[in-house]
């Protein structure tokens, strides 16, 4: 059986999605042909190794049929259909709702092709989406969410069964790539002494909550002036965040090193990792940090409690005072003890086993 892995795009905003799809595809047989399509962006932007990918170089407006592109939609879909038939694929792994909208209508006349749609986060469901999904029998279409929390929400919105495939990593392989504390700090230009450092990783966008984190950290410094904050990532909020750092005169305490392709190797540079997101489908940063042996503080979201239960350290999302308090509390805690408790709760070895078995069943 050949598999066609269809992604919306490459680039830093989609790096975690590529990671998830790579982990799923790692469960296929070594003899199974796998081809990847990138509807937007290029292979060099993916952040992971994607061999033999086809780059369609389509604009978002064209894919979504906006403006005059609505008239060209039949020709675009005809091109997709021709390429689908030529690929010989028997299974499509589709990246979320946008890709599903573009390709699923073609499968109505290609019943020999099965599709799996992976939902990575909350999304706005339209009435026509429900009609589209309900057209297919379960034998041809499977809807999958990366967490129980997301699966429940999508199930309510779509009134269809959603399978949970909680994303996970091979913990042994992951830890083998993580740099030591000193090496990671040197990479980030941080002191290798006992300076306490709070780290964060993610896109510099509103939904990641880094504006709140920055303000909360500024408050925490009034009680712990020795703290440092590093936020790894890039995005549209960089200028605003950097401007606020400069205005507060905190350039020596807070740094924004940008998007780093080796970010997953650098967690041990931090004593704690902060995840101030306003919403998440799963939150791979939580898994990566805990596997690296670094404890996390996070927004009090159901999807984070799904993973760490009462072993997490939580603050209300977007609540600056609550976040300031939890940062101080974290650094007054034993990071080693909390990290061990969180690792036991996350149970990455069992999570990887469960994920591997579920992914193989999904692709069989």
In the chain, the percentage of residues whose pLDDT exceeds 70 is 97
What 332-337 contacts at long range (C-beta under 8 Å, 24+ apart), as own/partner pairs, is 335/271, 335/272, 335/294, 335/295
Domains identified in the chain and CATH numbers: 3-165 (3.40.50.2000), 171-346 (3.40.50.2000)
Side-chain-facing half-sphere of 97: CA atoms under 13 Å? 15
Cα separation, 231 vs 123, in Å, equals 26
Confidence of residue 358 (pLDDT cuts 50, 70, 90): very high
Cα separation, 303 vs 167, in Å, equals 12
pLDDT score, position 136: 96
Write down the residue that tokens 């090496």 correspond to.
183
The neighbour count for residue 235, using CB atoms within 10 Å, is: 17
In the chain, the percentage of residues whose pLDDT exceeds 90 is 85
Q: Supply the pTM of this predicted model.
A: 0.94
pLDDT in tens, 51-108: 678 999 999 889 888 888 888 888 999 999 999 999 999 999 999 999 999 999 999 9
Cα separation, 99 vs 92, in Å, equals 11
pLDDT score, position 227: 98
Residue 42 has pLDDT above 90, yes or no: no
Confidence of residue 30 (pLDDT cuts 50, 70, 90): confident
| Alpha carbon of residue 238 to chain centroid | 19
Q: Are 150 and 307 in contact (CB under 8 A)?
A: no
Cα separation, 17 vs 7, in Å, equals 9
pLDDT score, position 47: 57
Summarize the confidence of residues 16-31 as an average pLDDT. Answer: 91
DSSP for 77-118, please give it.
HHHHHHHHHHHT-SEEEEEHHHHHHHHGGGGGG-TT-EEEEE
Q: Which two tokens stand for residue 31?
A: 């003899």
Summarize the confidence of residues 332-353 as an average pLDDT. Answer: 97
pLDDT score, position 50: 66
Write down the residue that tokens 């749609």 correspond to.
117
Q: What is the dihedral of CA 164, 169, 172, 175, to 10 degrees?
A: -140
Residue 138 has pLDDT above 60, yes or no: yes
pLDDT in tens, 243-282: 999 999 999 999 999 999 899 999 999 999 999 999 999 9
Q: Which of 1, 5, 4 is nearest to 29 (CA)?
A: 1
pLDDT score, position 1: 75
pLDDT score, position 100: 96
Summarize the confidence of residues 342-355 as an average pLDDT. Answer: 97
The neighbour count for residue 358, using CB atoms within 10 Å, is: 18
The neighbour count for residue 318, using CB atoms within 10 Å, is: 17
């Amino acid at each position: 059986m050949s598999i066609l892995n269809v992604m919306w795009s490459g680039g830093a905003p989609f790096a975690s999605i590529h990671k998830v799809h790579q982990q799923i595809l790692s469960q296929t047989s070594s003899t199974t042909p796998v081809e990847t399509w990138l509807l937007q962006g290029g292979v060099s932007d993916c952040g992971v190794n994607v061999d033999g990918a086809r780059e369609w170089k389509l604009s978002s407006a064209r894919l979504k049929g906006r403006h005059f592109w609505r008239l060209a939609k039949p020709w675009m879909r005809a091109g997709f259909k021709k390429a689908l038939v030529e690929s010989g694929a028997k299974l499509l792994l589709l990246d979320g709702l946008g890709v599903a909208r573009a390709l699923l209508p073609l499968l109505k006349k290609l019943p020999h092709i099965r599709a799996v749609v992976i939902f990575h986060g909350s999304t706005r469901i339209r009435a026509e989406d429900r009609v589209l999904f309900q057209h297919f029998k379960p034998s041809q279409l499977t809807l999958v969410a990366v967490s129980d929390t997301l699966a429940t929400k999508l199930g309510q919105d779509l009134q269809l069964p959603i399978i949970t495939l909680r994303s996970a990593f091979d913990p042994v392989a992951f830890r083998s790539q993580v740099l030591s504390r000193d090496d990671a700090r040197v990479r980030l230009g941080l002191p290798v002494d006992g300076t306490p450092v709070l780290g964060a990783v993610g896109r510099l966008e509103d939904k990641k909550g880094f504006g709140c984190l920055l303000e909360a950290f500024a408050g925490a410094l009034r009680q712990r002036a020795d703290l440092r904050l590093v936020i790894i990532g890039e995005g549209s909020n960089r200028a605003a965040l950097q401007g606020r750092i400069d205005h507060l005169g905190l350039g020596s305490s807070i740094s924004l090193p940008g998007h780093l392709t080796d970010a997953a190797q650098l967690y041990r540079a931090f004593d704690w990792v902060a995840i101030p997101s306003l919403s998440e489908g799963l939150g791979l940063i939580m898994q990566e940090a805990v596997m690296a042996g670094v404890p996390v503080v996070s927004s009090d979201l159901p999807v984070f409690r799904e993973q760490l239960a009462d072993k997490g350290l939580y603050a209300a999302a977007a609540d600056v005072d609550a976040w300031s308090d939890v940062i101080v509390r974290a650094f007054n805690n034993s990071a080693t003890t909390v990290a061990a408790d969180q690792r036991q709760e996350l149970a990455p070895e069992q999570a990887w086993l469960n994920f591997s078995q579920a992914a193989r069943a999904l692709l069989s």
